[in-house]
Amino acid sequence: MVGFQNGNGCQPMTEKIPTMRMHLWLETEDGLYFGLGRAILLAKIQEHGSLRRAAEELGMSYRAAWGKIKKTEEILGIKLIAQNGSKKEGYQLSEAGKTFMESYFLWFEEVERDALLKAEKLLPWAITSYRPGRPPESD
């Protein structure tokens, strides 16, 4: 098996623990339609009940956030968000949007867990996972 073994003289040059970062997304010939950024955007919409506040927190314009949501809805053929009454009342996730977001986060976590286990076997140093904007775990 290829990989570093204990005692083979290959030690990290620093005591800092590296963070594993992964790009895991879904795309078609039309381009990206769902990835970690869109999942986090949906999580922030759920948290704030507002597309505008979600976009602001993520450092993007309302128009950019709206465009990402609409592109994904077009490709999937489902509504990810629904308006809460009037425009002033904001947005909430549709049932399909909530299910899609939760399923993506579960998929991401499983792939990340498998990648971290493989890294532990093949690399001579500890690696931590990257957790951007992930909603807190619920009991």
What are the pLDDT digits (tens) for 83-117? 987 767 799 999 999 999 999 999 999 999 999 99
As a whole-number percent, the residues of the chain with pLDDT over 90 amount to: 56
Task: Decide if 96 is inside a domain.
Answer: yes
Burial of 72 (0-12, 13-18, 19+ CB in 10 A): buried
State the Cα–Cα distance between residues 130 and 128, nearest whole angstrom. Answer: 7
Give the range of the structural domain holding residue 91, as residue numbers without chain letter: 32-126
Give me the chain's average pLDDT, please. Answer: 85
In a domain, 40, yes or no: yes
Domain count of the chain? Answer: 1
The answer to whether position 68 is within a domain reads yes
Where residue 69 sits, what CATH number does that domain have?
A: 1.10.10.10
Higher per-residue pLDDT: 21 or 3: 21
Rounded to whole angstroms, how far apart are CA atoms 83 and 69? 13
Look at residue 134 and tell me if it is in a domain. Answer: no
Q: Is residue 13 part of a domain?
A: no
pTM: 0.78
pLDDT at residue 10 in the model = 60
Please check whether residue 39 lies inside any domain of the structure: yes
Task: With CA atoms as reference, report the closest residue to 37 among 20, 53, 60.
Answer: 60
